[in-house]
A and B are shown apart, each in its own frame.
Chain A
Amino acid sequence: MAADKETALQEIREILKVKLIEQLSLEDVKPEEITDELPLFGEGLGLDSLDAVEIIVLLQRNFGVEVKDAQESREIFQSVNTLAEYIYQQKTGA
C-alpha cells in the first residue's frame, strides 16, 4: 500500500516538474534540477506570486485539482513534494 502511494507520488512529481517548466517557461531549467524539496518561491526556484496563478491553472488543467483554501495554500505551494502530496490526497481522498 505504502509502496503504491510512493509510486503514484513519484509519477506525479515527474509530471509536475515537466509541466512547471513548460507552463512557467523555465527554459534554462531541467526537470532533474528541480529537487523534490526545492522551495518554489523566493530562494529556490525563484517563482513569484504571478507564477502561482500559472500553477493553480496547471493543477486544474492537468490534474483536475483546485486550490480553494488560501490558508492551505501556504502548505501546498512549498515544493514539488507538497504539491504532489496535495494532488494525491485530492485524487484518492487519502
Chain B
Amino acid sequence: MPDFDRTPKAKRRGNRPGIWFFKTVMRVAGLRGAYALLYPVCFYYACFDRAAVRSALPYLSRRFPGMNRWQREWAAYKLFVAQGKNLIDRHALVAGAVSFDTGIVGYDQVAALSGEGQGFILLTSHVGNWQTVMHSLERLEKTVYLLMRPEENPALRKAVQVDSEKSRLKIISPDQHLGGMVEVMQALEQGDIVSIMGDRTYGADGVDVRFMGATARFPYSAFHIAASAGCPVVVLLSSKTGINSYSVNMAEVLWPKLVRGQDRKKQLCDWVQQYADILENYLLVHPLQYFIFYDIWESGNIDHRTKNVE
C-alpha cells in the first residue's frame, strides 16, 4: 500500500486489485474500516518487505538520530500506516465518499494573489497529502497545473482523476519539448497555478542544501521559473490532523529575484535553502507526515530518472 520509490516492484504495491479492495472496504465500512485494514497490511510490509523499510530509513535516521534499529523499524511501520491513511483519504475524496475539514493557514494572502490575477508557483513536498489538499484549492477557481510525469501507475491515475476532462487539475509533462516550459509560462501568464515538487530532483538539475543536519540535493527549477516570470513561490505544506481533517499551511510566500551578473546557481541555492529550512521546521512538528521514500541525502545522488532537456 505505501507509495514508495517508483521501481517496478513499487508499482505492484499500488495495483488495481489492491486499490479496488481498499475502496470496497471503504464503501462498506467507511474510513475507519479501511484504516483498520491498514495496520496488518503495513505490518506485513514492515516485517517482510525489506526494500520498503530501507527506503524509509534515510529520512527516519536523520529525523530521529537517537533511535536504535528496532525503534526505527517501528517508526517505519508507523510511517507506512500514516501514508496508507493519506492514500485512502485521497481515494475517498475523489469517490465523493467523504469530505475533509481543511483549515488553510495563509489562505487569505493566496486568495488575494489569485484575485489580482497573479499566477504563482505552488511548491509542494512529500509531506502530508498534497493531492487531497489540491481539491481544497478549488475555491480559488483557478486551474492547477502539476509539472510532473503523468502517473505511471494507471490504476492510481484513474483513482485520483488528475487530468480528467472535468478536473481543474491538469498535468504538464516535463517530457515535452523544452520540458513543458512554454505551457508553464502560459499558465502563469493567465494567472493560474503551477505546482512543482520541491524536495526531490527526479533527475533534474539541483543544488546542495543543508537539510536535517546533512547535505541534500533539492531541485531549483521552481525558483528559477518564478524569478524569470516575476511571480511568487507559495510553499504548500500539509498534514493529517484527524480522521476527517487536514491542516494546510500556505503562509510562506517567497518572491525570488536574481541579480544579473552574479552566479545564478548560487543565488538560486539561497532561495532553495530558505525552502529547505521551512520544510525542516514543519517536520519538527509533523515528523510522521513525510513520505520521502528515497535517499535525497546520498552523496553524489543520481536520480534514476533521466533528465529531459529537449
What is the CA–CA distance of A77 and B184 in the complex, to the nearest angstrom?
Answer: 16
Shortest C-beta distance, A42 to chain B (Å), equals: 6
Within 8 A of B (CB), among A10-67: 22, 25, 41-42, 48-50, 52-54, 56-57, 66-67
Contact of A56 among B176, B185, B309, B310 (CB under 8 A): B185
Complex contact B260–A22 (CB within 8 A) = yes
Given contacts A49-B178, A50-B224, contact A70 B183 (CB under 8 A): yes
Given contacts A25-B261, A68-B186, A70-B183, contact A57 B310 (CB under 8 A): no
Most buried by B among A49, A50, A57, A74: A49
Given contacts A49-B174, A50-B224, A53-B224, contact A42 B310 (CB under 8 A): yes
Contact of B177 among A22, A25, A54, A70 (CB under 8 A): A70
Question: In the complex, how many residues of chain A place their beta carbon closer than 8 angstroms to a beta carbon of chain B?
Answer: 20
Shortest C-beta distance, A3 to chain B (Å), equals: 33
Complex contact A53–B310 (CB within 8 A) = no
A73 at the interface (CB under 8 A from B): yes
Question: In the complex, how many residues of chain B place their beta carbon closer than 8 angstroms to a beta carbon of chain A?
Answer: 25
Most buried by B among A42, A50, A66, A74: A50
Closest chain B residue, CB of each to CB of A49: B179
What is the CA–CA distance of A67 and B186 in the complex, to the nearest angstrom?
Answer: 8
Contact of A49 among B181, B186, B189, B229 (CB under 8 A): B181
Closest chain A residue, CB of each to CB of B258: A25
The total of interchain contacts (Cβ-Cβ below 8 angstroms) comes to 62
B228 at the interface (CB under 8 A from A): yes
Encoded as 1 (CB less than 8 Å from any A CB) or 0, chain B from 160 to 178 comes to 0000000000000010111
What is the CA–CA distance of A50 and B229 in the complex, to the nearest angstrom?
Answer: 11
Contact of B178 among A57, A68, A77 (CB under 8 A): A77
Contact of A70 among B176, B189, B260 (CB under 8 A): B176
Complex contact B182–A56 (CB within 8 A) = yes
Complex contact A41–B229 (CB within 8 A) = no
Complex contact A41–B310 (CB within 8 A) = yes
Complex contact B177–A74 (CB within 8 A) = yes
B133 at the interface (CB under 8 A from A): no
Complex contact B309–A41 (CB within 8 A) = yes
Shortest C-beta distance, B177 to chain A (Å), equals: 5
B261: A residues at CB distance < 8 A: 25
What is the CA–CA distance of A77 and B177 in the complex, to the nearest angstrom?
Answer: 10
What is the CA–CA distance of A4 and B266 in the complex, to the nearest angstrom?
Answer: 44
Contact of A53 among B205, B228, B308, B309 (CB under 8 A): B228
Complex contact A53–B184 (CB within 8 A) = yes
Shortest C-beta distance, B206 to chain A (Å), equals: 12
Within 8 A of A (CB), among B259-300: 260-261, 264
Q: Could you tell me which A residues sit within 8 Å of B by CB distance? A: 22, 25, 41-42, 48-50, 52-54, 56-57, 66-70, 73-74, 77
Could you give 12 example pairs across A and B, Cβ below 8 Å? A41-B178, A42-B310, A48-B205, A49-B181, A49-B308, A52-B178, A56-B228, A57-B229, A67-B182, A68-B186, A70-B180, A77-B178
